Amino acid sequence: MRASSLLVSLCSPAAAFRAFPRSDALARTRVFTTFERFAPAMAVMTTSAAPPQHGGESALEVAERIERVLAAKTRSGKSYDQLAGELGVTNTYAAQLLLGQAQLRPETRLKLEAAISGLDAADLFAMTACPMRSFDPAVLQEPLVYRFYEAITHYSRAIKLIVNEQCGDGIMSAIDFYLDVGTSTGVNGEKRVVVTMNGKFLPHIEQRAANNMCPSPRD
């Protein structure tokens, strides 16, 4: 797997780093070099009223921050359900915060500091920046993750038919969205995984010319 293909596809720098063995120092160096090369071009333009854009960490710094934060969570002995309860978020959102895939809001930062002791102030500050949300394509090689991918793709047409039937022509938002992971006990006493996705329905619009406030110019 080339470092450039990992980073251009917006993969997580920490995951991309771990995709190469420690012995392949050159490949790891290319991971960070490529990420730092493309990251500025992917930055989002903001106004002064927008959330802070102080995420000036290198890919290595991001990977190390995530490692420190996860280590602090492990030392706390708390589960993601326990952490989520103290933060007032879903368990997957709590995990996303630690993984740098969600923005740590001011009020949640105070709760996180209280919930997990030993978090570095600089790390907490970095977590309040607008994150570079991404995923590493190599994660699909992990068996648990691939099963979810397999289930969604296998049932995708059936899901679409039912959503269209119940809601109309549109999509489910992954932004106005809640994801929760739990368990249940089956009829034979086995533990079963329950994943609930709760997203706002966004209907496709009919693009009426009269409602288009910014038509393209015609030469």
Catalytic positions: 147, 150, 173
Contact 32, 63 (CB under 8 A): no
Structure tokens at 20: 């190469």
CB neighbour burial string for 141-179, b if at least 16 within 10 angstroms, e if fewer: eeeeeeeeeeeeeeeeeeeeeeeeeeeeeeeeeeeeeeb
Angle at alpha carbon of residue 145, lines to 137 and 195, rounded to 5°:
130
Report how far residue 155's alpha carbon sits from residue 173's, in angstroms, rounded to the nearest whole number: 18
Query: How many angstroms separate the CA atoms of 213 and 219, rounded?
Result: 18
